[in-house]
Amino acid sequence: MINSKHLVSFLVFILLFLSSFGQNTAKRNDIIEQMIENIAENSDEALDYTDLLENFNELFDKPVNLNTANEKELRQLHLLSSYQIQNLLNYRKESGIIYSVYELRLLDGFNYSTLQKIIPFIEIKIDSQKTRLSTKSRAKHLILARTQRTLEQEEGFKSINIEDDELDNSNSKPKYLGKSWKYYTRYKYRSPNKKIEFGLTAENDSGEPFFEGKNTEGFDFYSAFVHYKGKGFIKQINLGDYQVKFGQGLNLWSGLGGRKSTFTTKNAKRLQGIKSYHSTDENLFFRGSAIEFRLHRNINLSTFISYKKRDASIENGLIKSLINTGLHRTENEFEKKDRAQEKVMGSTLLFDLNKIDFGFSFLRSQFSPKLKNKADEIENIYDFTGKENYNLGAHYNTRYKKIHLYGEIAQSKSGGKAILQGLQLQAHSQLSLEVIYRKYDKDYHALYGNAFGEQSNIENEEGVYIGAEFYPYPKWTILAYYDLYEFPWLKYRVGSPSSGHDYLSQIEYNPNKEVSIYFRFKQEQKPENSNDEKIKTPIEVVKKQYRLHLSAKLNEKWEIRNRIEFSEYQKSKKENGYLIYQDIIFHHATLPLTSNIRYALFDTDSFDTRIYAYENDILYAFSIPAYFNKGSRFYFNLKYKLNKNASLYFRYAQTQYANTKNISSGTSKISGDTKSEIKLQLKLNF
């Protein structure tokens, strides 16, 4: 490990030197990374962030006009509270046109730091009727084509030694059935009046056969959608693949959901309803049809039905487990492809009244064959088993002056209940607070839920969260949260009922428009089973993280981002780790060329002290690696705009380890200390 004092001294020197330049700040990247990194840190699964990235990129390319945006469009920013949105709409109603974003400084709840965060995603336009009539609407098309691969050969691509297999078949190694290239393509159409959209997404992972062998249909995964938006009795129709997101996620929130982050007082979920699906997660979506009716000016009814096949491990005619990887590279993985059938139907009735909106939802899921009872594993005896599940739920939102209340209650077929109640309070023009209480029974089953909590599943948890956002002085922001929770029943790697807590604090300083600096401390304390193989006694585990981060725009061509982060993990012994990186972003003055580069050094004692860091990637792609062991990482991204309708993207990334002869394990193992990856993408829009 290098001397931490030298690292801190070096970075402080950089911060002091750059504070003379003026603000940044790759603000868009800072905002996105703070959301994604926290989700990645709190999940054991490989998640798909495509929709989240696409939403922010679309906002960046097509900012929200503060003079015309309605409440729903302002919610999509994810950066404004309900109180701030309502104040903005009232101001616009009373004062008319907004001429400058800095007018909002006059409104309660708005301050310098808030404005700096939303500026990359908003615009101020005076939208006259004459301008609207003179603008010609036209259809819009988007085409994406991407390919990528790891340059080093993975074990799964090596030829099997037939002689060795005959001698000892138990030691035979499965072989990937396809080539090393991954392929992705996407098409999207939007009609001139924006009433109709349709699209197609196709993906083939590295190692999966492509127009050969077990897959003669081309891509391994296809997804298509048709979306119609109306203004009469039929408000919306979705055909093909879609997602459904209502309430606070206790009952129905398919796809990615938020987790604790530095958005400490903005955890209330915003209504999204039924949305077209164009991501590549092969499980967390619905496939069928959905329709939304406008029963009354303030009453809407959404109903949907879905049928799709899912990967599963079958044992004795029962589903032993559902497989969510979406990978079909080996004979074993192909045996589990599409083995289970899932039927889902549901509906949601929404009432949007003057000061309160509320709704009721119903969801019914059926599986064939049935899910196996897991009573042989004591921590899983309350998990969902059987053939059918249903959920009933009710949710609401209401605002009164500076108070925003929201909540949801739900029950599953098992009788288990889930409750979430939240309160957001604008206690002072410079202080926002949020309190969330949740209680999820150990036998509550929400197969398509995704709610606020410590765990990814909505079960076996009770807790209280308190978040704060404070602006003590102009250019300074203090963010903090404290979350206290307990688990009434056993859980993964914890052999008894348990409890824990975590807290985060962050101080951010924006000395001017071109520089942003923040320091973050996070600590988590909860039990895990001891490492003793015979007696699994839970013991307290403490994780700590310290981060210092800088973003700066030096001039019109150059931007930089620096970070140094330390991690600690205390279980039976204390372990440490660090990560330090330098980002350089370049915008060519005359050519339509943008590039960014990162060089990172990391050294951790084990995987337990891993550090997650969001990486700039090509458009709509994402990379959030866990840095662990000892080594260095380098990547280079390039975007060149060929003309107004076509852009070309290229990425090269390489990780080199200092203390290992093999990377990963199983079919993914690479012999050597280096792993390299390239990506190439073409975007056409016309």
Amino acid at position 654, single letter: Q
Answer for the pair 632, 606: CB distance below 8 angstroms, yes or no. Answer: no
Q: Pairing state of beta strands 356-371 and 340-352?
A: antiparallel
pLDDT of residue 121: 81
Per-residue b or e along 147-166, where b marks 16 or more CB atoms closer than 10 Å to that residue's CB:
bbbbebebbbbeeeeeeeee
Q: Structurally, how many domains does the chain consist of?
A: 1
Residue 192 lies in a domain: no
Answer for the pair 527, 494: CB distance below 8 angstroms, yes or no. Answer: yes
Q: How far is CA 170 from the centre of its chain?
A: 40
pLDDT of residue 168: 44
Residue 358 lies in a domain: no
What is the pTM for the complete model shown?
0.88
Residue 158 lies in a domain: no
Residue by residue, what is the 3-state secondary structure of 446-505?
CCCCCCCCCCCCCCCEEEEEEEEEECCCCCEEEEEEEEEEEECCCECCECCCEEEEEEEE
Q: Describe the chain by its helix, strand, coil percentages, rounded to 5.
A: 15, 50, 35
Residue listed under structure tokens 């007696």: 535
pLDDT of residue 47: 61
Which residues in the chain come in under a pLDDT of 50?
1-25, 129-134, 162-170
Residue 40 lies in a domain: yes
Residue 352 lies in a domain: no
The domain of 115 spans 26-136
Residue 132 lies in a domain: yes
- Angle formed at CA 587 by CA 585 and CA 589, multiple of 5 degrees: 150
**Helix count (H) and strand count (E) of the chain?**
9, 33
Residue 661 lies in a domain: no
Residue 353 lies in a domain: no
